């Protein structure tokens, strides 16, 4: 099979690799679509994220969908032919975190495209059968690939406890921020404020669930919840200060390793501050939201690429108006590289 391989130093190359064989409890998936995440671009440009370092060749990509073409031992052969969205993680089922239902926090997790584990920018991958989620006929491969970032948004909205009639401030109108806005609307929030410096992204946010958009630094009437999808320290500080008493702040964006927080304000208002690390038990909700039309994933796709165009896809976020790039590993070059933006 062909795979896009990132080498230490930032060199990308399409290489031939053996097709993996599904082990016990696993399925072999022919990959049809892979979304590009900011973490993929970060590994490409900087060679590391925190303690995870690209010190050996690695295949990027963890937002993926495809078709099951083979199964391992103990997996029914009836699964062959299933169109699936891949939940790109393999936790240790015996860890304390997994046994508590928090398998995303498993200390022995093997996660796609996180060194040293290969990801999905290849023609075939294996994954545990339970993490290959069957999708409905009306869900496209591209939508199914984006169930992964949608799951981050679902986890964030759940942590923020956004519900009927609530108000929420979201910092950042990138893919996660825009998905948070849509999930918040689906959860019943009636005031959804999005803070974003880019005018085009603010317009997209209004199209995808926001009730108000504003530039960073603009004052905000108090909200019940704040979700940071930017990773910018100033945005986090402003968001926390915008919370009403007993409000909840959820940090999603990956930015500075350390930040300064208004501790007295957090104490005096009894604010709850927490983070989100990936997700657990979110795929059924993602499927329901997309199938019902409550969340529009296709509207956020602003570039399509083939396996020979991975470098361009990883740099697509530098193009004005870009939101989400999708790679199709089954083709070398995509015939429709840049659909119109919202």
Amino acid 26: pLDDT: 98
Angle, alpha carbons 81-63-55 (nearest 5°):
120
Nearest residue to 262 via CA among 226, 238, 246, 232: 238
119 and 17 Cβ atoms separated by less than 8 Å: no
pLDDT band at 337 (very low <50, low <70, confident <90, very high): low
| Close Cβ partners of 221 (under 8 Å, ≥ 6 residues apart) | 242
Across 102-106, average pLDDT = 98
pLDDT digits (tens, 9 = 90+) for 162-210: 999 999 999 999 999 999 999 999 999 999 999 999 999 999 999 999 9
| Close Cβ partners of 204 (under 8 Å, ≥ 6 residues apart) | 173, 178, 299, 300, 323, 341, 342
Q: What is the mean pLDDT of the chain?
A: 96
Reply yes or no on whether the pLDDT at 339 is more than 60.
Answer: no
Amino acid 335: pLDDT: 81
Only one residue has tokens 């928090």, namely 102
Domains and CATH numbers, the chain: 2-146+297-328 (3.90.180.10), 153-275 (3.40.50.720)
Largest CA distance in the chain: 59
pLDDT band at 321 (very low <50, low <70, confident <90, very high): confident
DSSP-derived letter for residue 300 is G
pLDDT band at 341 (very low <50, low <70, confident <90, very high): very low
Q: Considering Cα of 38, then 112, then 287, then 102, what sign does the dihedral take?
A: negative
Distance CA 325, CA 141 (A): 14
- Of 85-89, 121-125, 173-177, 336-340, which range is least confident? 336-340
Nearest residue to 290 via CA among 149, 79, 165: 149
Percent of the chain with pLDDT over 70: 98
β-pairing verdict for 2-7 and 58-59: antiparallel
Exposed, middle or buried by CB within 10 Å (0-12, 13-18, 19+), for 271? buried
pLDDT band at 338 (very low <50, low <70, confident <90, very high): low
Nearest residue to 52 via CA among 111, 127, 120, 134: 111
H-run or E-run covering 48:
strand 48-49
pLDDT band at 340 (very low <50, low <70, confident <90, very high): very low
Distance CA 278, CA 182 (A): 18
Amino acid 320: pLDDT: 86
């Amino acid at each position: 099979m062909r795979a896009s391989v990132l080498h230490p130093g930032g060199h990308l190359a399409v290489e031939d690799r053996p097709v993996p064989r599904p082990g016990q409890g696993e399925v072999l998936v022919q990959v049809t679509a892979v979304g590009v995440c900011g973490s993929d671009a970060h590994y490409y440009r900087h060679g590391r994220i925190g303690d995870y370092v690209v010190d050996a060749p690695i295949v990027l990509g963890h937002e993926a969908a495809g078709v099951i073409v083979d199964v391992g031992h103990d997996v029914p052969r009836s699964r062959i032919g299933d169109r699936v969205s891949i939940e790109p993680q393999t936790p240790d089922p015996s860890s304390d975190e997994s046994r508590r239902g928090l398998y995303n926090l498993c200390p022995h997790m093997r996660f796609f495209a996180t060194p040293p584990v290969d990801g999905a920018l290849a023609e075939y991958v294996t994954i545990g059968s339970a993490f290959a989620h069957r999708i409905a006929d009306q869900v496209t491969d591209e939508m199914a690939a984006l169930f992964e970032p949608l799951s981050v948004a679902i986890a964030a909205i759940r942590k923020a406890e956004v519900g009927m009639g609530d108000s929420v401030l979201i910092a950042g109108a990138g893919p996660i921020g825009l998905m948070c806005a849509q999930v918040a609307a689906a959860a019943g929030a009636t005031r959804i404020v999005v803070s974003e410096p880019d005018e085009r992204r603010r317009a997209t946010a209004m199209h995808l669930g926001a009730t108000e958009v504003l530039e960073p630094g603009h004052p905000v009437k108090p909200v019940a919840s704040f979700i940071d999808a930017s990773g910018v320290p100033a945005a986090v500080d402003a968001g926390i200060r915008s919370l009403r008493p007993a409000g909840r702040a959820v940090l999603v964006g990956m930015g500075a390793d350390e930040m300064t927080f208004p501790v007295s304000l957090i104490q005096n208002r009894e604010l709850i501050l927490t983070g989100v690390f990936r997700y657990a038990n979110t795929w059924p909700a993602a499927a329901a939201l997309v199938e019902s039309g409550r969340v529009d994933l296709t509207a956020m796709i602003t570039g399509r690429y083939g396996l020979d165009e991975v470098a361009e896809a990883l740099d697509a976020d530098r193009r004005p108006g870009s939101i989400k790039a999708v790679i199709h590993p089954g083709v070398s070059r995509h015939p429709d590289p840049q659909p119109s933006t919202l």
